[in-house]
Amino acid sequence: MKVTIGKYPKSSNREQKIKVQIDPWDTWSMDHTLAHIIVPMLKQLKEKSHGAPHVDDEDVPEHLTKAAAPPPKDEWDVDENHFKRWDWIMDEMIFAFESKIKEWDMNFDYEARRARIANGFRLFGKYYEGLWD
């Protein structure tokens, strides 16, 4: 696989240069192949992010919910846990995709780990359109 994605053009009437070459072996274990791309992108997004999308309370631990935070000063402000929720979601997605490309330590609860990985992939799908900076 080889992917080249150019910078966004300064002029709106020009297109961004994109070239994608997919080799036959890239789709043999496509989930593994994509994880190698997704992990560094998620890590960079988490590190450089300037915002965070809305995250449903049902997707985070109770201590990160809106109810667990003091009410915002103004009704248009986000609560104290808003960005913490997104960081938690990002960490879960990173964990899931890293688990595709790293060897697992054998000293773990297999079912708990599988459930966490499945949840990270579920969150990736649910918040896919929130992956912006």
**For the chain, what are the domain ranges?**
29-130
User: Given this model, what pLDDT does residue 76 score?
Assistant: 87
Q: For residue 28, what is the DSSP state?
A: T
Residue 105 confidence class, pLDDT cut points 50, 70, 90: confident
Amino acid, res. 53: P
pLDDT above 70 coverage of the chain, percent? 100
Per-residue pLDDT tens over the stretch 73-104: 898 899 999 999 999 999 999 999 999 998 77
Per-residue pLDDT tens over the stretch 59-76: 999 999 999 999 998 988
**Strands in the chain per DSSP E:** 2-5, 18-21
Residue written as token pair 């579920």: 122
User: Given this model, what pLDDT does residue 12 score?
Assistant: 84
Q: What is the pTM of this model?
A: 0.90
